[in-house]
Structure 1
């Protein structure tokens, strides 16, 4: 057989394998291959960097195609054209902020090598859609082909206009949460660095859904997770280092309230005209036809202008719109070869938000209050986080803080750093940075949430931490709020002759103070705590001692009004009987990990109760509640030789209808166990389900 004919048959075989989704043991394709393990995790092996991106794009389409392709359509500002009138407001937001056009410009500014990576990720998605059109919802197929600009636009929209400048904040409607730990060798029992990645976001499939993947190529090893549709891992580790993120709410955007006058707006005592233009977009009608609508665009010196439901004109100014390199920065962070290299990459300051926690084999740990933050002459978070007067140039910021000016903690004497979405000042304890040394608008000086206090105690209290203990501490379901008030409540209630109060006391005395599935009393305590600390459990007004910056991880505590607290207990008992049928209903009978055909006892609770193992539950329906938000991706790593790594993707690693990986990890979550993460090719091959050459 001639070489040409042999090559032709080999190419044909590769195409057939690709169309079939691949089979175990298949030969790698010309660019690489994806090894799929038994949990639906893609282990991508690319022959070059672009080949890694191609494989990751292909895997993204296979596991999350319907969700991601719709996100790309939204980032184009063409969602109403594709899916109808329900997407009009989404399109208006994208068009008014120039998201897609800016993404096009950002893409052009990237180095040719990274443009090739973005293009390859898009090409991987296109290849999957071509090979498996039947696997994608018909409504999303019209969005193809995907381009590198689409990938950039989605990242831009997510980072700058979901996290930094969410539409709801500008439009006046009314956050997500996470945990992160890094333990240095001096506090680790083994002498090895430990790292926890533990983001909490909504469970319903969306732009905030996480995707677990393993990316391998020449000089590339990255295991971790990212939000679906992003071409890079935002939570990753390898044999040498790792990093994770938590939401920090840095004020990278400002909403300016304008004073309208004579068809324009007042600015420094004069009327200025708006800069105006029009654009059009299409809306799909019920009969499938398209209707063209016109959008009038206005902007001021601050930025694009929007009219809120209350009639106020608000201009939005977003920092970092001149910094296209956020995705590339994450990619390069994962490729860094030393702590000094990592620091140089972080100094680019292209990622617009997030606390970022780092640890490495050499023993370095870091907490960074990362973000692109405008500089102001004065003012605090309350001033710059609300509506700011837009009628004077005195409030118009033009500069942003440098990396050197941001709060950070590096290799602290305590031996650990942590963050649970709180301000940066207690990133370690004893504190090494103080709010007084930074501008007041940088971040509030408390109060510190009970979840963050729990995180601090879990790290600060033990002198040394083993890897096993690290895992156990992550899973703790102890309710810290009970340490602050429950003994006082029980003492105050002891004198009551009310039978409901006494019945509640009996239950709470016997309760183990956890939100584990078998806990009897947790639901009753929740009902009381909602009355005591408000519906979100955050008010400290009813505590005897309120939160104190001088004692940040040990306040608040006590009962300001014991009689009132006892009255709240009686009301909580009435609610618990009505809602749950008993005061001591087991927590997991009501709180269920239910997805599809899987329905298991739940655990984990509201973070503001001081629960580190977080689960935010839906309202009751038919006597049950299910997760709305909480534990999603979890990974715990010890940088030993070889590394130890365990983790879980709580809701599974695929959102595609019919996928077995939508709920196949819920049993682990219910039993509070973790998977060993298969980080080597040998481990993957022992747990191999399919191979996709490409």
Structure 2
């Protein structure tokens, strides 16, 4: 009997080991495939790095340069590039576990691969050549550095794989995740950011349109509170952008790009300069997985972007038959498409295969939950034209050429602020706004059986809000409504735009400060504009006014310590400049009130927020008034520096990680800053800065955090745009060739 039990135990152990090995090894073999790589073409690029490690990439052709972009970026951050490639192939869960599986679910739900397969072959040959060259660069680096490859059979990739990553990520920039997630979890859709129907113009007193107050009867208008893409906590972080005409600056056309992105990860900026023998010469930054910059400048013109939040998503409730296999559309019953997909989910050393079913209707992706079946339709759906549009924008030489590319409506969202050598400035509220018929309540859940509600594409470009050379001489955006952008007398009237366009009306503190400071300025020379860009003040309105009203209403007679903290907040000078005694306490308090207003959610409990802030400061500092410079930090490896700015100030320190010592390590806020100037009769010049350095995941690199000190000091470094300047400041120079 004992021998039999022993043999049985041994057999069970063997079975467990077999199961363990199977779960530890199945995913790479399951994901293996034969791909059609790039044609037998040899790419050659020169990579010259300046004193800050920024790569300057040269090639005879644009495709040669794209190959070099991939190699240079992989040298600096191959870790993140692999995350992006895994997302682009629906395998991120094998790297990032349950969180990654959520991205893979979206990949299948949105049919990112299908979009690429349908439309990548339709792209112009020279655009596809860029993507094939870029993929080849990634493949070559993976081949030459096998010890850095984190997931077996992730490479080789081809241009279509890279394109699928674009199809996956773009919708999240206007907040599609805030619709998908609650539907998947069978939760109510969150309130919208702003109404589809424009409100009256701002009162003449302050020039700023009021924030919308959600009415009690707005419970159907529930699906527009969009956080930024890949946001970890749903807090809205944004960007600032400024452009000033020569007559207002006293000399040059000035373009200031002040993007707020995560400092690490798949949507962190990577700075580069590219130049080819085919006329591509551009300085700016891209995201991992892109062969070209998304913002910056060439010799003649430049632009920057800020995230906008138009109503781009419509939700339809389908009428299903009894067994849920068909839905009604008009007087017809159509089959509900169903496809079972496998999501790899890493848990420790094993990867579990999780099966899920994704659905589609003629409307678009469908999510089935306990409340029914909901179809989603969004602007830019099933369009891959942005891959070509960004490439063409890089090479545009005049405003007319540049705007004609935008007018194609291939880039689904983001504001564009523009400046050029000729002194022109412009702002386009770029969005592939759905061409909706007037009448229905597009803010609510729509009847899925009415075919008249299925719009076919975007509105015409002429219907978008647009500014060109306003009388004020300046333009800005800080993730706010486009109806405050150029100052009193130059701002657009919201009443001139159809309500079904769904153009946002929300304001931010950064917008209020920008509008006020720009309007009050005389000449916007470099000194004046720098003071605005690095401004750390809040306006006592909106969520901040609400926070103080809630604090004043508290009865704190039972807790003298909380009463003392509240009194300290009442002395705050409304700046996050590391000077006032109340700065640290205010920094901890403001963020959640800001987030609640941005998401149109209920404000947090003021007593709980105050208790948490006091507890944090007392626990880690032994006082409620430590200098904010001791609390808010820039940390990267051994670098540990003080930061200023708040969650919604023009000098932005937006979100942070609470470290074991109680310090707040900023992870999201001011990121890539670029300052471009076209002086009359002179060549373009620019300066830039990032929080860390060019090699953010390479601790051994001298460029792991070599820009950090300049960043915290509000200083910029030179951008070496011209080749002679690059070579004069080069610290390394090498030639890379494919296949070697």
Same topology, TM > 0.5: yes
Query: Among residues 129, 134, 141, which one is paired with 1:128 in the alignment?
Result: 141
What is aligned with 1:267? 328
Query: Among residues 611, 616, 619, which one is paired with 2:655 in the alignment?
Result: 616
Q: Does residue 606 of the first structure (1) align with residue 664 of the second (2)?
A: no
Q: What SS does the aligned partner of 1:367 have? A: strand
Per mean C-alpha deviation after superposition, the further-off stretch among 286-295 and 352-361 is: 286-295
Question: What is the CA distance between 1:506 and its match in structure 2?
Answer: 8.3
Cα distance change of structure 1 residues 570 and 301 upon mapping to structure 2, 3 Å threshold: closer
What is aligned with 1:11? none
Q: Whole-Å Cα distance in 2 between the matches of residues 129 and 433 of structure 1?
A: 51
* 1:47-66 alignment runs, 5 A limit: 47-66=60-79
Q: What SS does the aligned partner of 1:481 have? A: coil
Q: What SS does the aligned partner of 1:126 have? A: helix
Q: What SS does the aligned partner of 2:411 have? A: coil
Check the 8 A contact 1:211/1:654 in 2, yes or no: no
Query: Among residues 179, 182, 186, which one is paired with 1:169 in the alignment?
Result: 179
Cα deviation 1:234-290 (Å, max 9, x = unaligned): 111123211011111233332222243312465357573433343554747779888
Check the 8 A contact 1:170/1:255 in 2, yes or no: no
Cα distance change of structure 1 residues 65 and 571 upon mapping to structure 2, 3 Å threshold: closer
What is aligned with 1:355? 415
Q: Whole-Å Cα distance in 1 between the matches of residues 109 and 609 of structure 2?
A: 49
What is aligned with 1:90? 103
Per mean C-alpha deviation after superposition, the further-off stretch among 430-439 and 584-593 is: 430-439
Query: Among residues 684, 687, 693, which one is paired with 1:646 in the alignment?
Result: 687
Question: What is the CA distance between 1:635 and its match in structure 2?
Answer: 0.7
What is aligned with 1:333? 393
Question: What is the CA distance between 1:678 and its match in structure 2?
Answer: 2.1
Check the 8 A contact 2:83/2:266 in 1, yes or no: no
Cα distance change of structure 1 residues 596 and 365 upon mapping to structure 2, 3 Å threshold: same
Question: What is the CA distance between 1:612 and its match in structure 2?
Answer: 4.3
Q: What SS does the aligned partner of 1:305 have? A: strand
What is aligned with 2:85? 72
Check the 8 A contact 1:435/1:445 in 2, yes or no: no
What is aligned with 1:427? 485
What is aligned with 1:690? 732
What is aligned with 2:535? 476
Cα deviation 1:1-48 (Å, max 9, x = unaligned): xxxxxxxxxxxxxxxxxxxxxxxxxxxx97330001232211001111
Q: Whole-Å Cα distance in 2 between the matches of residues 307 and 215 of structure 1?
A: 46
Q: Whole-Å Cα distance in 2 between the matches of residues 575 and 356 of structure 1?
A: 40
Q: Whole-Å Cα distance in 1 between the matches of residues 650 and 564 of structure 2?
A: 25
Check the 8 A contact 1:242/1:360 in 2, yes or no: yes
Q: Does residue 664 of the first structure (1) align with residue 706 of the second (2)?
A: yes
* 1:89-488 alignment runs, 5 A limit: 89-134=102-147, 136=148, 138-140=149-151, 142-160=153-171, 162-164=172-174, 166-172=176-182, 175-176=227-228, 177-190=238-251, 192-203=252-263, 205-218=264-277, 219-264=279-324, 267=328, 272-281=333-342, 283=344, 295-308=356-369, 311-378=371-438, 384=442, 387-430=445-488, 431-444=490-503, 446-481=505-540
Check the 8 A contact 1:181/1:196 in 2, yes or no: yes
Q: Does residue 635 of the first structure (1) align with residue 674 of the second (2)?
A: yes
Aligned residues: 632
Q: What SS does the aligned partner of 1:186 have? A: helix
Question: What is the CA distance between 1:80 and its match in structure 2?
Answer: 4.6
Check the 8 A contact 1:604/1:611 in 2, yes or no: yes
Q: Whole-Å Cα distance in 2 between the matches of residues 616 and 530 of structure 1?
A: 8
Q: What SS does the aligned partner of 2:249 have? A: coil
Q: What SS does the aligned partner of 1:688 have? A: coil
Q: What SS does the aligned partner of 1:646 have? A: strand
* 1:505-584 alignment runs, 5 A limit: 513-526=574-587, 529=590, 533=593, 536=596, 577=618, 580-584=621-625
Q: What SS does the aligned partner of 1:622 have? A: coil
Check the 8 A contact 1:307/1:313 in 2, yes or no: yes
Q: Whole-Å Cα distance in 2 between the matches of residues 566 and 132 of structure 1?
A: 54
Question: What is the CA distance between 1:567 and its match in structure 2?
Answer: 13
Cα deviation 1:35-73 (Å, max 9, x = unaligned): 012322110011111111111111122122221122122
Q: Whole-Å Cα distance in 1 between the matches of residues 358 and 590 of structure 2?
A: 47
Q: Whole-Å Cα distance in 1 between the matches of residues 312 and 43 of structure 2?
A: 43
Question: What is the CA distance between 1:155 and its match in structure 2?
Answer: 1.4
Check the 8 A contact 1:455/1:612 in 2, yes or no: no
Check the 8 A contact 1:274/1:298 in 2, yes or no: no
Question: What is the CA distance between 1:223 and its match in structure 2?
Answer: 0.4
Question: What is the CA distance between 1:222 and its match in structure 2?
Answer: 0.6
Check the 8 A contact 1:72/1:153 in 2, yes or no: no
Per mean C-alpha deviation after superposition, the further-off stretch among 575-584 and 234-243 is: 575-584
Cα distance change of structure 1 residues 391 and 569 upon mapping to structure 2, 3 Å threshold: same
Q: Whole-Å Cα distance in 2 between the matches of residues 80 and 568 of structure 1?
A: 35
Per mean C-alpha deviation after superposition, the further-off stretch among 641-650 and 414-423 is: 641-650
Q: Does residue 626 of the first structure (1) align with residue 687 of the second (2)?
A: no
What is aligned with 2:197? none
Q: Whole-Å Cα distance in 2 between the matches of residues 293 and 67 of structure 1?
A: 24
Q: Whole-Å Cα distance in 2 between the matches of residues 168 and 499 of structure 1?
A: 40
Check the 8 A contact 1:107/1:152 in 2, yes or no: yes
Q: Whole-Å Cα distance in 1 between the matches of residues 596 and 602 of structure 2?
A: 14
Q: Whole-Å Cα distance in 1 between the matches of residues 664 and 364 of structure 2?
A: 43
Question: What is the CA distance between 1:593 and its match in structure 2?
Answer: 0.9
Question: What is the CA distance between 1:614 and its match in structure 2?
Answer: 4.0
Cα deviation 1:606-627 (Å, max 9, x = unaligned): 10xx544343334574321111
Question: What is the CA distance between 1:683 and its match in structure 2?
Answer: 2.9
Q: What SS does the aligned partner of 1:524 have? A: helix
Q: CA RMSD in A?
A: 3.7
Per mean C-alpha deviation after superposition, the further-off stretch among 654-663 and 150-159 is: 654-663
What is aligned with 2:202? none
Q: Whole-Å Cα distance in 2 between the matches of residues 86 and 624 of structure 1?
A: 26
TM-score relative to the length of structure 2: 0.77
